[in-house]
């Protein structure tokens, strides 16, 4: 069973779009015919934690505009984000330089090797014709939007064309994905199988449905049992090989992995982790504290995707949307510095030409 049936009435979109389903082995998690509502429930304790997030001071729009409202302010901020200790030549790493002006952006010329570096060269802004103020506003809007921001909303708010907004959105999501890729989960890690997409009408139902894109949902916990970090990774399927590869890339050796009875998860031992199976029996999601945080994360993800985005190609771009979600989730206690951290990540990120931005992800 998938969530498609349970969510159809919530959304006017076709059932095969923007649905996260989480198939249990038949009968093991919820009774046949019972709508699986676990993903929509936020447990009380996590609701308290969420309040801590909701009421923290973010960076207000007036404050943002005061700091980044002009092209000169944005250029200075970008320069600082790239070279906080002063310019270093990317070719020879020397610091002696002069600044050439006249073009749109500052150009730094190295005294030692004469190499010229534009302020935006080597960042995701490379080659842009847009003012930096537009990019900075996009970074602000994307980082402050509680449940993500669609390209259409970005188009309206930035006053740019839809293709431009789409490209800005995807470049920023790729920055977040690159950042998230660096982390590995450690300690107690709870994992579960989940899917983007539901079944097409008339298609196969459940695991194996052709329009579903599988991903591993994982949450590491702190010593007092609260979520530390989450990862949502597309996988080719729930096979032992895929899970062993996933574990090698995303788990620290020595971690303890908790899952339900889905067989493939025992392959985490290939990455030096211990595996503990929770027998779910006939119990419901609420009765299973082991899955509380996974369910909370997936519930938030579902709200974020169905509330903010129209249909997107799950296989091609799913990894980016998932990374944009986890980027925000993993920094949920720090909304105020989120825009500047995303800016720093964008400044340090390799440029993304349009072609590679549109390319499919390598995961599947």
Which residues of this protein are in contact with Zn ion, per CB under 5 A? 89, 91-92, 110, 112-113, 115
**Spatial CA neighbour of 105 closest among 127, 85, 83, 84:** 127
- Contact assessment for residue 333 and residue 52, using Cβ atoms and an 8 Å cutoff: yes
Least gap, CB of 79 to Zn ion (angstroms): 17
Six-digit token string for 59: 């960076």
Instruction: For Zn ion, give the closer residue by CB, 28 or 116.
Output: 116
Least gap, CB of 80 to Zn ion (angstroms): 20
Distances (CA, A) of 223 to 12, 189, 220, 227: 42, 11, 10, 9
Instruction: For Zn ion, give the closer residue by CB, 110 or 132.
Output: 110
For 256, the 3-state DSSP assignment is strand
**Spatial CA neighbour of 325 closest among 346, 341, 347, 303:** 303
Distances (CA, A) of 60 to 146, 214, 278: 14, 37, 44
Give the alpha-carbon dihedral of 234, 238, 244, 246, to 10 degrees.
Answer: 10
The Cα 142–Cα 148 span in angstroms is 6
Instruction: For Zn ion, give the closer residue by CB, 34 or 96.
Output: 96
Least gap, CB of 125 to Zn ion (angstroms): 21
Least gap, CB of 353 to Zn ion (angstroms): 24
The Cα 230–Cα 180 span in angstroms is 10
Count of helix runs (H) and strand runs (E) in the chain: 12, 9
Least gap, CB of 111 to Zn ion (angstroms): 8
**Spatial CA neighbour of 274 closest among 199, 187, 197, 364:** 187
Least gap, CB of 106 to Zn ion (angstroms): 16
Instruction: For Zn ion, give the closer residue by CB, 93 or 334.
Output: 93
**Spatial CA neighbour of 168 closest among 325, 320, 331, 341:** 320
Instruction: For Zn ion, give the closer residue by CB, 35 or 113.
Output: 113
Rg of the Cα atoms in the chain: 22
Instruction: For Zn ion, give the closer residue by CB, 114 or 226.
Output: 114
Instruction: For Zn ion, give the closer residue by CB, 98 or 362.
Output: 98
Strands (E), 16-87: 20-21
Instruction: For Zn ion, give the closer residue by CB, 115 or 146.
Output: 115
**Spatial CA neighbour of 262 closest among 6, 8, 22:** 22
The Cα 357–Cα 257 span in angstroms is 34
Least gap, CB of 112 to Zn ion (angstroms): 5
DSSP codes joined into one string, 4-25 = HHHHGGG-SS-TTSS-EE-PPS
How crowded is residue 228: how many other Cβ atoms within 10 Å of its Cβ?
Answer: 16
Least gap, CB of 351 to Zn ion (angstroms): 19
Instruction: For Zn ion, give the closer residue by CB, 115 or 240.
Output: 115
Least gap, CB of 110 to Zn ion (angstroms): 3
């Amino acid at each position: 069973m998938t969530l498609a049936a349970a969510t159809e009435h919530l959304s006017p979109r076709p059932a095969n779009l923007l649905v996260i389903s989480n198939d249990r082995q038949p009968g093991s998690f919820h009774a046949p015919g019972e709508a699986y509502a676990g993903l929509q429930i936020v447990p009380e304790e996590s609701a308290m934690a969420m309040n801590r997030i909701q009421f923290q001071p973010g960076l207000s729009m007036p404050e943002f505009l005061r700091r980044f409202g002009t092209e000169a302010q944005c250029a200075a901020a970008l320069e600082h984000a790239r070279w906080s200790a002063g310019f270093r030549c990317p070719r020879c790493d020397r610091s002696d330089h002069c600044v050439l002006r006249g073009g749109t952006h500052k150009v730094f010329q190295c005294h030692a090797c004469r190499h010229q570096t534009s302020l935006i060269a080597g960042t995701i802004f490379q080659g842009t014709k847009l003012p930096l103020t537009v990019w900075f506003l996009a970074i602000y809007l994307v980082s402050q939007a509680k449940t993500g921001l669609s390209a259409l909303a970005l188009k309206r708010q930035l006053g740019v064309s839809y293709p431009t907004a789409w490209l800005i959105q995807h470049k920023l999501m790729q920055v977040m994905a690159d950042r998230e890729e660096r982390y590995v989960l450690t300690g107690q890690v709870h994992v579960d199988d989940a899917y983007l997409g539901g079944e097409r009408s008339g298609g196969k139902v459940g695991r194996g449905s052709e329009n579903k894109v599988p991903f591993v949902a994982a949450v590491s916990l702190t010593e007092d049992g609260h979520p530390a970090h989450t990862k949502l990774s597309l996988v080719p399927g729930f096979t032992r090989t895929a899970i062993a590869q996933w574990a090698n890339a995303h788990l620290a050796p020595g971690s303890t992995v908790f899952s339900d009875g889905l067989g493939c998860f025992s392959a985490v031992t290939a990455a030096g982790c211990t595996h503990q199976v929770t027998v779910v029996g006939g119990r419901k999601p609420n009765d299973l504290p082991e899955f509380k945080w996974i369910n909370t994360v997936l519930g938030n993800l579902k709200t974020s995707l169905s509330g903010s985005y129209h249909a997107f190609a799950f296989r091609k771009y799913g990894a980016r949307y998932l990374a944009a979600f986890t980027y925000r989730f993993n920094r949920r206690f720090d909304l105020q510095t989120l825009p500047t951290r995303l800016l720093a990540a964008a400044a340090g990120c390799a440029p993304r030409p349009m072609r590679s931005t549109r390319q499919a992800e390598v995961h599947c």
